[in-house]
Amino acid sequence: MITAIKILVALVCIAALAIFVARLIFTLPSMEGRTNSAALAPPDTGPLNNAIMPQWQDHPGKTGVLPLGNGADAFAARMLLADAAVSSIDAQYYIWHGDLTGSLLLNALKRAADRGVRVRLLLDDHGTSGLDRQLASLNAHENAEVRFYNPFVLRGFKLLSYGFDFFRLNRRMHNKSFTVDGAATILGGRNIGDEYFDTGPTAIYIDLDVLAVGKIVPEVAADFDRYWAAPAVHPAGPILGDVPAGDPIGQSVAEFEDNPQMAEYRAILEGSSLIETLRTGSAEIEWTDVILVSDDPAKGMGSVPRGDLLASRLARAVGHIEARFDGISPYFVPGRTGTRAFAALENGGVQTRMLTNSLEATDVLPVHAGYSKHRRNLLKGGTRLFELKRKAATTTPKDKIGPFGSSGASLHAKTFAVDGMRIFIGSFNFDPRSTTLNTEMGLLIDSTAMANQMHDAFDRQLDGMAWEVVLDDGDLRWHGSVSGTVTRREPGSNILKSAAITVIGWLPVEWLL
């Protein structure tokens, strides 16, 4: 026994020494000499300025919002805004894939820089795998700069960095925004990748963005500046190293030339009338009051008081809830505190309903384990729970089901509606990671139309796209809503998954989920 303890102590000491040495060897480049730029004022002229400023003058002090529930529209909006830019593009994302979608949007940024547009691209380095050559090339452009939030020193084997720098790298920037010419911005849940935009052969993520113009845009631009200058944000050049020869971005796009999805994207762009409808004032923009809620980027260094976190400030902005709360969160881990909060709303006469991924639809099994351990108590507290089906059978046309998308999908939207009056659209999940670890952002929008669209979808029991989980004599049952199907076995479960969920539920890892 004593020998085993000695061996264990020796192994711990060796591991500690290895971590200490690795931290000495693999250090981040110095940021001495880093200069920080600021958002540019909207240009005097240009397609976006000419289209939006006259409408804003007709709605002083208001923000115009246009929901982008359809992935194709969300892709077209980003591409067309980038191609319309004459002054600046500031883009901030958690994930940027090197697939067709990511390559096309990087190429759009490069084209803008070629026209003299100033491009600033801020990426969480966790989601940039395989893009070092393309990002180094863009960063080398005289009109573009790339920066990383909490970057990895190891480039080829990023995950190994967690072994010696876990607590820093465990904090990520989950924000998503795309601001053009200081005139228009897109915020929401979508990262940049094929799966977020409803095209191609990949599994589709059901998601929601909003295009905003008017009063909120300078606030989003200022928030971007705050992140751009944050201590956790590093210039990409010293991290990426030598600039590759040739045109890696153009080469990436060329590799997809014969891909059927390329033709699909071309058709989407050719068929989009976004810029024209903005110019003519015929876009279905709602002018209203909007609040930007965004975490302090210092959260990435663990130095933000709990009362100043986005979750706390969002709760204060929402204020008292009178009667209805309907929420969508793909990664729903309420914990004991959240479970009690939902029960308190119910006890106060508020109807609470939540939609999250079912086991068969989730893409992160540990998160489902964190959710399922609180599911029974949520139901006992009165919250109605809906879990998205992997292949949702719906008879409702896609353009009528709002943020809930189409069949064969996994939920990714992060939104909630309150009292038929307000709706939040952003990056925030109802989980510990969004609350205390990752930085988040979103818009709280006064909109009876958008809020009631979500309430109505829940009233229709999501048109058969989700299971409703209920307690029946203390046992869980999954009801197929419209179909009338009832099952005692959790959809998508098997022996291995059930065992994994049970074991993960025992572990003290909920704070990481």
Q: Is 497 a catalytic residue?
A: no
- 400: DSSP letter: G
Spatial distance between the Cα atoms of 214 and 62, rounded to a whole number of angstroms: 6
The one catalytic residue among 97, 374, 389, 412:
412
Q: Is 419 a catalytic residue?
A: yes
Closest CA to 75 of 37, 104, 45, 35: 104
**Look-up of token digits 């409803």:** 198
Helix 100-114, helix 71-84: angle, nearest 10: 20
| Partners of 478 in the β-ladder | 469, 487
The one catalytic residue among 97, 126, 176, 374:
176
The one catalytic residue among 97, 110, 174, 389:
174
Spatial distance between the Cα atoms of 25 and 466, rounded to a whole number of angstroms: 50
Spatial distance between the Cα atoms of 72 and 190, rounded to a whole number of angstroms: 12
- 112: DSSP letter: H
Spatial distance between the Cα atoms of 93 and 100, rounded to a whole number of angstroms: 17
Q: Is 181 a catalytic residue?
A: yes
User: Cβ(442)–Cβ(293) under 8 Å?
Assistant: yes
Closest CA to 378 of 343, 348, 329, 349: 343
User: Kind and range of the H or E element at 375?
Assistant: helix 365-380
Concatenating the DSSP letter of every residue in 54-97 gives: HHHHHSTT-EEEEEE-SHHHHHHHHHHHHHH-SSEEEEEEEEB-
| Partners of 93 in the β-ladder | 123
User: Cβ(144)–Cβ(121) under 8 Å?
Assistant: yes
The one catalytic residue among 215, 234, 373, 414:
414
| Partners of 475 in the β-ladder | 472
User: Kind and range of the H or E element at 111?
Assistant: helix 100-114
Q: Which two tokens stand for residue 197?
A: 């935009």
**Which amino acid is it at 254?**
A
Q: Is 174 a catalytic residue?
A: yes
Catalytic residues: 174, 176, 181, 412, 414, 419
